[in-house]
Amino acid sequence: MATMEAPPRLQVNLHEGAFKNEPFVDFSREDNARKMRAAIEKVRGQLGREYDLIIGGKRAKTADKIRSINPAKPSQVVGVHQKAGKEHIEPAMNAALKAFTNWSHTTVEERASLVFRVGDLLRARKYEFMAWLVFEVSKNWAEADGDIAETIDFCEFYAREALRFAKAEPPVQLPGERDRLMYIPLGVGAVIPPWNFPCAIMAGMTLASIVSGNTVILKPSSDSPTIAAKFVELLEEAGLPEGVVNFCPGGGATFGDALVAHPKTRYIAFTGSREVGLHINQTAAQHQPGQVWIKRTVLEMGGKDAIIVDADADLDAAVEGVASAAFGFQGQKCSACSRAIIDERIYDKFIEKLKTRVERITVGDPAENLNMAAVINEGSMNDILRYIEIGKKDGRLITGGARATNAGEGYFIQPTVIADIAPKSKLEQEEVFGPVLVVIKARNYDHALEIANDTEFGLTGAVYTNSREKLDRATREFHVGNLYLNRKCTGAMVGAHPFGGFNMSGTDSKSGGPDYLYLFTQGKSVAEKIS
Instruction: Give the residue extent of every domain in the chain.
Output: 30-301+509-529, 305-493
pLDDT of 361 > 60? The answer is yes
- Long-range Cβ pairs for the range 467-476 (8 Å, 24+): 467/310, 467/312, 470/310, 470/445, 473/445, 473/449, 474/308, 474/449
Q: How confident is the model at residue 10 (pLDDT cuts 50, 70, 90)?
A: low
Three-state SS across 147-176? HHHHHHHHHHHHHHHHHHHCCCCCCCCCCC
SS3 string, 225-292, reads HHHHHHHHHHHHHHCCCCCCEEECCECHHHHHHHHHHCCCEEEEEEECCHHHHHHHHHHHHCCCCCCC
Residue 372 has pLDDT above 80, yes or no: yes
pLDDT value at residue 3: 40
Positions marked catalytic = 300, 334
Nearest 5°: phi and psi at 341? -110, 115
CATH of region 30-301+509-529: 3.40.605.10
Mean pLDDT value across the chain? 97
305-493: same fold as 30-301+509-529?
no
pLDDT in tens, 78-133: 999 999 999 999 999 999 999 999 999 999 999 999 999 999 999 999 999 999 99
Taking alpha carbons only, the member of 155, 145, 130, 146 closest to residue 238 is 155
pLDDT digits over 479-530, tens only? 999 999 999 999 999 999 999 999 999 999 999 999 999 999 999 999 999 9
Q: Which residue has the higher pLDDT, 252 or 518?
A: 518
Q: Which CATH class is domain 305-493?
A: alpha beta
Q: What is the pLDDT of residues 381-422, one digit of tens each?
A: 999 999 999 999 999 999 999 999 999 999 999 999 999 999
The pLDDT value recorded for residue 237 is 98
How many Å apart are CA 155 and CA 140, to the nearest integer? 23
CA 131, 134, 136, 137 dihedral sign is positive
Q: DSSP 3-state assignment of 116?
A: helix
pLDDT surpassing 90 at residue 11: no
* Angle subtended by helix axes 108-124 and 141-165, to nearest 10: 160
Distance CA 354, CA 315 (A): 10
What CA–CA distances, in Å, run from 365 to 80, 137, 358? 22, 11, 18
341 CA to centre of own chain: 26
Per-residue confidence (pLDDT) for residue 9, from 0 to 100: 59
pLDDT tens digits, 200-251: 999 999 999 999 999 999 999 999 999 999 999 999 999 999 999 999 999 8
Given a contact cutoff of 8 angstroms between Cβ atoms, the answer to whether 185 and 265 are in contact is: no
> In this prediction, what percent of the chain has a pLDDT beyond 90?
96
Contact 148, 129 (CB under 8 A): yes
Residue-wise pLDDT tens digits, 453-475: 999 999 999 999 999 999 999 99
Q: What pLDDT is stored for residue 4 in this prediction?
A: 43
Are 160 and 112 in contact by the 8 Å Cβ rule? The answer is yes
User: Please, are residues 425 and 387 in contact by the beta-carbon 8 Å criterion?
Assistant: no
pLDDT of amino acid 461: 98
473-476-478-482 Cα dihedral, nearest 10 degrees: 120
Confidence of residue 8 (pLDDT cuts 50, 70, 90): low
Give the three-state DSSP class for 397. Answer: strand
